Structure 1
């Protein structure tokens, strides 16, 4: 059995998944993802039975080149937008994923970014390390209006933490957890425009689809008050980058803190890396010593069960 393993978090972090994987007797080819389509196409002809992947470009062309040997794709994580799901259904290749294992960690990172951008943490630390005693003035979270796009597992955990800070929580999404919304006094909006107009802070926690692509754009940002903030631990493509930069430059946005970019890893001249009002972390929102082993074991046991044809495997594309 030949397996392509590409996720760096899985490979780099200690945990029981390493011994379990070695015990399978597989021929494991290790790469450092996320891999572009060009590299995936180079590897595709090597006769893999399965992928254990992160955010690699698994396009129709890659799948066709892997056919008919490729039997299973096990995604480390929950975002499936880099996989051509319609093609996997046509080819009857199950796509597995790992829901319910990283929501606490990502919610914590969301709050980290929110605190860092509103309290001027990065410039304060940088100035102090440079020998300067520059005392910048920040903002309280208490009473601020935060708008959550999506109230799935991660959005709910962010809501709990925002409530603990005394924030006013607003939400929009197809799924609405009535009990939690009542418990934490979440105001429901029937449109994104309404959510943006009511919020000083926007934080998207929705999957990337054709409908959600660039859902954060100039038309909606202009509905927010001046000196608002944007936090993103979802997908880089949820925002229109030129529109966000324009909002930062105009003062509509006081800051943008993100763990995700439209291009990962980014080019050295990526415009968000050098912007004075932007904080970027390298897609580590779910990368903790607690969360990684949970995700790794889930993705690995999904794969083992699917290859054996028995047990739970969390299939995302309906093939199993």
Structure 2
């Protein structure tokens, strides 16, 4: 191997479009690692392969120990958009960009959010069981609901929240948006209503769909008090990150009839422990953190991740995909 090659660690979950872009370059050596590798094994692997110049992460944590082990890290990328498992300040101190996959998976997550709204409102699981269990005569005792004319409150108006809003508007819903970091003009231009006060907006919503990042500000955002502000007929959808919703409080609210139901793609602990109390509730639908991991999205994210890596190695990182903009000149 030529000594001037750049060594890039890629998780085994990176699909062929991304790999192909990296393989086209004769100045790059690819090293694969398991997506669910332990922190200690990952650090040891980095040390054994050092110097390592770039990494494409799935769910693996990354911070100061990994930076130290890699010796010459130039760019850290996520095959996705969430980065709560990455120590961003540690990267910034070394002027290393953290790059994400931009809009690559946002259509998929927005579709999943709408799917969960429809599944809950149309009582899809119950209707399936009525037919399968020979209880046809019970169908009029559990009528489904329309999205038409209902109010949805979208929390976070970034890449995914904006797309979710478009889909809800197409269903002829009234769309409220809570995002203190977006201007009222931007929200209004998208055909939505600004919800300046989250607590005041919650009693108006028939559906609440969470699309904000997990930060110290948003952890526990939906706690006992916030859940109590929602209508008893309302549904809560979380396709963002576990920990934004207090799961114990959600369970209690659902059991007490303070909420009609919930759709969860993410959990405080992933995978959630066997026998989790939410598993037993008939008005909860769940998915294993795959909202943004469709066949098409994985290809789009992998390709964008490869382009992010190459742009950084070539000294001109794609600016709008860089999270820690302070490292850019």
TM-score surpassing 0.5? Answer: yes
The answer for the alignment partner of 1:4 in structure 2 is 9
For residue 299 of structure 1, report the CA deviation from its aligned partner: 0.7
Task: Work out the number of aligned pairs and report it.
Answer: 314
Distance in 2 of aligned mates of 1:31 and 1:55: 11
Distance in 2 of aligned mates of 1:39 and 1:205: 32
- 1:311–1:40 distance in 2 versus 1, CA, 3 Å: closer
- 1:42–1:246 distance in 2 versus 1, CA, 3 Å: farther
The answer for the alignment partner of 2:67 in structure 1 is 63
The answer for the alignment partner of 1:113 in structure 2 is 116
In the alignment, is residue 40 of structure 1 matched against residue 42 of structure 2? yes
> Would you say the 8 A contact 2:53–2:70 is kept in 1?
no
Distance in 2 of aligned mates of 1:32 and 1:24: 23
For residue 203 of structure 1, report the CA deviation from its aligned partner: 0.8
- 1:41–1:262 distance in 2 versus 1, CA, 3 Å: farther
For residue 31 of structure 1, report the CA deviation from its aligned partner: 3.2
Distance in 1 of aligned mates of 2:273 and 2:40: 17
In the alignment, is residue 143 of structure 1 matched against residue 144 of structure 2? no
> Would you say the 8 A contact 1:7–1:34 is kept in 2?
no
TM-score, normalised to structure 1, is: 0.88
The answer for the alignment partner of 1:16 in structure 2 is 17
For residue 187 of structure 1, report the CA deviation from its aligned partner: 2.2
Q: Aligned-residue CA RMSD in angstroms? A: 2.4
The answer for the alignment partner of 1:222 in structure 2 is 228
For residue 180 of structure 1, report the CA deviation from its aligned partner: 5.4
The answer for the alignment partner of 1:101 in structure 2 is 104
In the alignment, is residue 122 of structure 1 matched against residue 125 of structure 2? yes
Q: Which runs of 4+ in 1 moved over 6 A?
A: none
- 1:179–1:74 distance in 2 versus 1, CA, 3 Å: closer
> Would you say the 8 A contact 2:187–2:194 is kept in 1?
no
The answer for the alignment partner of 2:85 in structure 1 is 82
The answer for the alignment partner of 2:53 in structure 1 is 49
The answer for the alignment partner of 1:152 in structure 2 is 158
Distance in 1 of aligned mates of 2:173 and 2:90: 43
For residue 219 of structure 1, report the CA deviation from its aligned partner: 0.5
Q: Which runs of 5+ in 1 are unaligned?
A: none
Determine which structure has more spread, i.e. the larger CA radius of gyration.
2
In the alignment, is residue 202 of structure 1 matched against residue 208 of structure 2? yes
Distance in 1 of aligned mates of 2:64 and 2:163: 35
Q: Please give the secondary structure, in 1, of the residue aligned with 2:295.
A: coil
Pairwise mapping of residues 210-289 of structure 1 onto structure 2 (< 5 A)?
210-289=216-295
